[in-house]
Chains A and B, each alone.
Chain A
Amino acid sequence: MWKKIYEWLDERLGLNDLYKNILDRPEPRGTWWNTLGSASLFLFILQGVTGIFLMVYYTPSPDHAYDSINYIMNGVAFGWLIRGIHHWGATLMIIVVFIHMLRVFVTASFKYPRELTWLVGTGLFILTLGMGFTGYLLPWNQQSYWATTVGTQIAGSVPFIGDFILKALRGGPDLSALTLQRFFAAHVWMLPAALEGLIGVHLYLIIKHGESNFPSKED
């Protein structure tokens, strides 16, 4: 019976074609270094899921942000686990994305016809750093408060338009409720939406071009 259901669905959705074209494509003889892209994707999904879960209890207001995270850590069943995964997953994601990028660079996989994959990838890297920067403020503790103070100050040191950038980032001249709110909005919607879009393009390009062979000694 399952077979019949599957066939019915396959006829309409083209599941077999999908599988063949997306997952069953030919690969060069790979190494573990080739898995870092998938690892990044997995971490992105993990961060997304745990992030959605954290949002159930987190409040992005200066009055309650710290207390709500305290509550997640001490008052909610497995809250420590969900936040722990999100916390360490964030660190791991930066590392994995960076090593992935390094691998692509070292094996010269960014060359024709994959220049756009590389370009989109650099965008993904910058967005990932943006996720790290905005997420760091959300606990609203001393460490995150001053890290964001310094971080936005650095952005503010740009000649001529620095002051404008600083105010745009902070939502005013000082760190305030507006800063927390806009970092939250960036962290949970703007950056993730941009990431998802670019990940889609990145994956399409990888499926279209296939993965590159590692350069041989002759190259």
Chain B
Amino acid sequence: MSEGELSRRSFFKAVVGIVGGIIGVAVGVPAIAYLLDPAFKSSAKESWISVGKLADIQVGKPYPFAFAIVEVNGWERTSTSHGGFVIRKSDNPTDMIIFNSQCTHLGCTVNWEADAQAFICPCHNGKFSKDGVVLAGPPPRPLDRYTDFRVTNDGILEIYYKGS
């Protein structure tokens, strides 16, 4: 055999190396993608949530609403309940306050008591005014608000939920 000519042995070595490399990449890349898959997924929890028809919400009277957020992690679904109150200040569709009904103390759900004209937490008697200001009890800060809201063309009030 002359110099520079490929021997049978080195030919097979090269072919085995190349084919093995191709198989290695073809198997290795999916394997890594499989393992790291959850890290590539976006955790988009944000969405527009429908609250109700704007026409149904009376001016001046707290309008309660509730919604559930379902989180899916792999094969597991976790549903969390949320709620709040819409208070329209005037007929102007943007003139309103939307409260999160979760008490700022320990997270119980506050109720609107028409007699007291206040939001009262059943757990520790936290009391909030119609503007969400703490009137009495242990809550450390005013009621949280949903500040992002819009009214769709169909007259539906929607809030933007960003997760908690």
Chain A residues with CB under 8 Å of chain B are: 53, 56-57, 59, 64, 67-68, 70-71, 75-79, 81-82
Selected contact of A77 from candidates B34, B74, B75, B76, CB within 8 Å: B34
**A-B pairs under 8 A by CB, number:** 35
Interface centre among B31, B35, B75, B76 (most CB of A within 10 A): B75
Selected contact of B35 from candidates A53, A64, A68, A75, CB within 8 Å: A53
Known: A57-B74, A64-B75, A68-B75. Contact between A81 and B30, CB under 8 A? yes
Q: Are A56 and B75 in contact (CB under 8 A)?
A: no
Please report the C-alpha to C-alpha distance between residue A150 and residue B30 in the assembled complex, in whole angstroms.
37
Q: Are A78 and B74 in contact (CB under 8 A)?
A: no
Identify whether the interface residues of B are mostly helix, strand, loop, or mixed. helix
Q: Are B74 and A71 in contact (CB under 8 A)?
A: yes
Chain B hits for A79, CB < 8 A: 34, 37
**For the side of the interface on B, what is the size category?**
10 to 19
Please report the C-alpha to C-alpha distance between residue A81 and residue B35 in the assembled complex, in whole angstroms.
13
- Give residues of chain B (20-35) contacting chain A, Cβ–Cβ below 8 Å: 30-31, 33-35
Q: Are B34 and A53 in contact (CB under 8 A)?
A: yes
Q: 9 A-B pairs, CB-CB below 8 angstroms?
A: A56-B35, A57-B74, A68-B74, A77-B40, A78-B30, A78-B31, A79-B34, A79-B37, A82-B34
Output the nearest chain B residue to A64 by Cβ-Cβ distance: B75
Chain A hits for B30, CB < 8 A: 77-78, 81-82
- Give residues of chain B (71-127) contacting chain A, Cβ–Cβ below 8 Å: 74-76
Chain A hits for B31, CB < 8 A: 53, 78, 82
Selected contact of B76 from candidates A64, A70, A78, A82, CB within 8 Å: A64
Q: Are A78 and B75 in contact (CB under 8 A)?
A: no
Please report the C-alpha to C-alpha distance between residue A79 and residue B36 in the assembled complex, in whole angstroms.
11
> Mask for B1-44, Cβ within 8 A of A = 1, else 0?
00000000000000000000000000000110111010010000
Please report the C-alpha to C-alpha distance between residue A76 and residue B40 in the assembled complex, in whole angstroms.
10
Please report the C-alpha to C-alpha distance between residue A27 and residue B13 in the assembled complex, in whole angstroms.
20
* Min distance, Cβ A58 to any Cβ of chain B, angstroms: 10
Output the nearest chain A residue to B30 by Cβ-Cβ distance: A78
Q: Are A76 and B34 in contact (CB under 8 A)?
A: yes
Please report the C-alpha to C-alpha distance between residue A71 and residue B76 in the assembled complex, in whole angstroms.
10
Name the 6 nearest CB pairs between A and B, nearest first: A67-B75, A78-B30, A77-B33, A77-B37, A71-B75, A78-B34
Chain A hits for B40, CB < 8 A: 77
* Min distance, Cβ B25 to any Cβ of chain A, angstroms: 13
Given A64-B76, A70-B75, 20 more A-B residue pairs with CB atoms under 8 Å apart are A53-B31, A56-B34, A56-B35, A59-B75, A64-B75, A67-B75, A68-B75, A71-B74, A71-B75, A75-B74, A75-B75, A76-B34, A77-B30, A77-B33, A78-B30, A78-B31, A78-B34, A79-B34, A81-B34, A82-B31
